[in-house]
Chains A and B, each alone.
Chain A
């Protein structure tokens, strides 16, 4: 989509970040461009070392880009120190000030901005209520639990009403249950405050649950930006498909292409239709991806696109996974949701066919 300057909360334009120099130089970000819309819950998702935290730190001002610009509502902020950017960070370690109480921590940013005393007091009370910490206002930060510290860190960063809130893997230190709760809490806070959130995580499930849009990163590059649905259903690259959810990759021959859809021939000879990533014109051999829940086990020959032998049937409570060895030798997994009346059906060693749901196959750029 076209992006006009100023209409986005953040515009990152051709930003490169190189640490070190000479032969020790490490490129943390390799010419990254991305636009983050106002009032959006935007997630940078990728494995550790992919550059997502570097990008966040560049936006916060803790690092300066080697090349490129970073615009905040159309204004270049790449050269400003962090205390001159209307952007706040929730740190992975929370970084709460240990010599201050909960309320003093929340008030800190407002005090540094020189806001009047009554305003600070009112705002701190409002923030404490927002994160439901009213009764712990005068505790030391060392006297509260990890989950509570997390809330204080959020309240502290939200108190000065930043234009953009940056969150650096804020949930990674919490246990599973607490993390689930905080995911919903974060979404609520973003909705209530109307502030643009940029959230960094390596947890795909977290990204899918909370985000309006996700940017998938690896090796200092952004591979794909899209809604959680886009990213999951229409991965453009093998890395994206592999990193998020489970995938079956199939080698295929491109037969014809028209209007973002290609007809491809599988190894079995069956021809199916696959979606093509924007701006890509495939030809020759290509890889397509099919999610395990987008395929069904069918009797052989009965409209099946693939044929093979059942190798394993794995019962997982809500689902059953069927591992099939396709005739060309690749492994294909089909997921079926369990229901009380569903027939148990297949056993290992049996022959079966696979039907791929219409519109489920996605052709990969590489």
Chain B
């Protein structure tokens, strides 16, 4: 006869086994489809490139990593800074930061507006904000192209109003990418902001006014500190996909304004330099990690401050 303790232990072991079995499909997908390929990329970045794409398997080389930032002179093989890569890196980071700031500037009033509507109409507004999610990214990007191209909405309007004579060249510039990313990623800023503004106790705002704070001071001293988790979450949600954006710079930036995503694609495609592509991919991931780290630190700090 099994003692009660033994039966209990057996049941516990069975429970544990069942739990593993149930989570196995998920775990397998994560390992096979996400973590595994990452290790492949990491390995590729340290191998020598083959002549027609691919890598020379097992041949160790730092060339991929070196050429992220440096390029060899065609004639004497000396190393110089890879200006093209640096400017793409800089463009990616700065455009992503600008996008984050712009979506925050446009998104905050929008989210505040929605959060202060009566409960019944609020849902309608949230629904309107999420509508773009139902449309394919490529279609939305081409829609943006129709607005900003030389014969597009903006230029036709400005010319017919007599404000400008020749079309304002927006397409294929950094501005085009910035506009496109701001448009596409705005809902990702509005939704977390709305979620945290909606939780805001509006009596605190009354208390602020009562204690002689002006509108601006109430915003700065009470509203912003209290909705900071939403601001940080929205910023991260916009910054990370902006950094890795591929379709938007491809369509709106033309071949001239590239971002990291396009550079990576180039190395795996026409550039036939897989180790470099892998190294840039991992660099991009590291940048995202830094952004996430900032987020985690911020959230845990504000969490502690709220007791």
**Residue positions of A touching B, CB distance < 8 A:** 60-62, 81-84, 87-89, 91, 93, 95-99, 108-109, 112-113, 140, 142-143, 156-157, 160
Contact = CB atoms under 8 A, between A and B. Distances in A.
Give the interface centre of B206, B217, B226, B306 by most chain A CB atoms within 10 Å.
B206
B214 A97 contact: no
B306 A98 contact: yes
B78 interface: no
B226 A95 contact: no
15 contacts: A61-B209, A82-B206, A83-B209, A83-B210, A83-B212, A83-B214, A89-B206, A89-B210, A91-B207, A98-B226, A98-B306, A99-B305, A112-B214, A113-B212, A156-B211
Given A140-B305, A142-B307, A62 B206 contact: yes
Contact of A95 (B201, B212, B221): B201
B225 interface: yes
B222 interface: yes
Contacts, number: 68
A108 B203 contact: no
B30 interface: no
B88 interface: no
B213 interface: yes
B203 to A, nearest CB: 4
A160 B208 CA distance: 13
Interface in B187-241: 201, 203-204, 206-214, 217, 221-222, 225-226
A108 B211 contact: yes
Q: Is the interface of B mostly helix, strand, loop or mixed?
A: helix
Contacts of B208: 97, 108
B306 A82 contact: no
B204 A95 contact: yes
Given A61-B209, A95-B203, A108-B208, 8 more contacts: A82-B210, A95-B207, A97-B204, A98-B204, A98-B226, A109-B211, A142-B307, A156-B211
A91 B208 CA distance: 12
Contacts of A81: 209
A99 B203 contact: no
Contact of B209 (A82, A93, A156): A82
Contacts of A109: 211-212
A142 B306 contact: yes
B212 A160 contact: yes
A112 B203 contact: no
B73 to A, nearest CB: 56
A116 to B, nearest CB: 15
Contacts of A62: 206, 209-210
Give the interface centre of A61, A84, A87, A112 by most chain B CB atoms within 10 Å.
A112
Nearest to B204: A95
Closest 4 CB pairs of A and B: A109-B211, A142-B307, A95-B207, A112-B212
Nearest to A86: B212
B203 A93 contact: yes
Contacts of A112: 211-214, 217
Contacts of A83: 209-214
A140 to B, nearest CB: 5
Contacts of A93: 201, 203
Contacts of A89: 206-207, 210
